[in-house]
Structure 1
Amino acid sequence: MSDFQKAVISTPGSERLAKAPHGAKVVVHATAAETNGAFGMWETFTLPGKGPTPSHSHARDRGFLGWFAGLIVFQCGDEEFDAPPGTVVVLPPYVRHSWRNIGDEPGQMFAIVTPGGFEQLFMEIEASGAASPDEIAMIEARLGIINDETLALDR
């Protein structure tokens, strides 16, 4: 990975729309292709009662997650805590995590993950219509995203 040389600008209407494995709307602002692999950046809008389950971890990704809206309960390792707007969680690789929107309004999260590439998962789920855990895990495996779900497939 080397530095990228051109600014990445995401204005309203120019971003890419995608979908997270838990069905949340994802707005992709920067991709690994645009940052020369440095990071990916997106917003996630999680519907009430939803969130990524079960808890999972990532083998190579470091995540910076910040909440702007919603009533979120976050699990990080063995700790569970409320994550009101303004909460920031920084995740190293291999730390199990999940969250759930316990409010009545969509939860809005801003994420930066390094190295870049994880955002491609959301775009491929949207493009392919993948919905089952096996379909999503196959996309993850193809992209080199290794987490508990892909390891469980033994593929």
Structure 2
Amino acid sequence: MKTFTYAAVSPPGHGTPAMAFGKHVIRMMAANTGGAFGMLEAIVPPGEGPPLHVHEREDEFFRVLSGRFGFWCAGDYVELTEDGCIALPRGVPHRFRNIGTKEGRLMVVATPGGFENFFPIIELCKPETPEQIASVARDFGLTFLPDEDRPGKDRNIA
């Protein structure tokens, strides 16, 4: 990892759109932060969100920009609205879902950086089967899990 010694800026309205698993806007690349982190905005329709999954390389931080989201992490559950934040550790199964009635927006920071490239790669290679998606995901240290792998009964942590 290079040293992060200068400001990285993402002005309002800027970023690289990626239409993969919904709409994402890449706001900061690891290349701009010395590899320290990557940041993206996720635009999530009502009822949508990723399946249960594990990141082996990155911790994730989410801030709800708009909407209402449910977050599951290792048997814990919390609902957050605008300005709510949650940090999710690497190696722990988690997922989130827009539980509101309108499109929601999340700011997502992954550290160290690099995972922000997942969505543009998926958009570019257009995998068609779950096996093809899983293959690309493995290259990013990401594993999708069946929901029944969620440990224990969810505990409300808020």
TM bucket, shorter chain: 0.7 to 0.9
Match of 1:78 in 2: 75
Gaps of 5+ in 2: 146-158
Match of 2:100 in 1: 103
Equivalent position amino acid for 1:132 in 2: T
C-alpha contact 1:125 1:131 (8 A) present in aligned 2: no
Alignment of 1:1-155 (within 5 A): 1-20=1-20, 23-53=21-51, 55-142=52-139, 145-149=140-144
Q: From the superposition, tell whether residues 83 and 132 of structure 1 become closer, same or farther in structure 2 (CA, over 3 Å).
A: farther
Q: Distance in 2 between matches of 1:5 and 1:16?
A: 23
Q: TM-score, normalised by structure 1?
A: 0.83
Counterpart of 1:136 in 2: which secondary structure?
helix
Match of 1:153 in 2: none
Pairwise CA distance, 1:141: 2.6
Q: Distance in 2 between matches of 1:46 and 1:33?
A: 26
C-alpha contact 1:73 1:83 (8 A) present in aligned 2: yes
Structure with the higher fraction of residues in strand conformation: 2
C-alpha contact 2:53 2:93 (8 A) present in aligned 1: yes
Pairwise CA distance, 1:13: 4.6
Q: Give CA deviations for 1:6-48 in whole Å, capped at 9, x if unaligned.
A: 432223453100134xx22111011112222111011101111
Q: From the superposition, tell whether residues 5 and 71 of structure 1 become closer, same or farther in structure 2 (CA, over 3 Å).
A: same
Q: From the superposition, tell whether residues 131 and 109 of structure 1 become closer, same or farther in structure 2 (CA, over 3 Å).
A: farther
C-alpha contact 2:134 2:143 (8 A) present in aligned 1: no
Q: Distance in 2 between matches of 1:131 and 1:3?
A: 38
Gaps of 5+ in 1: 151-155
Q: From the superposition, tell whether residues 132 and 83 of structure 1 become closer, same or farther in structure 2 (CA, over 3 Å).
A: farther
Q: Distance in 1 between matches of 2:80 and 2:14?
A: 29
Match of 2:149 in 1: none
Identical aligned residues as a percent: 35
Pairwise CA distance, 1:61: 0.5
Equivalent position amino acid for 1:104 in 2: T
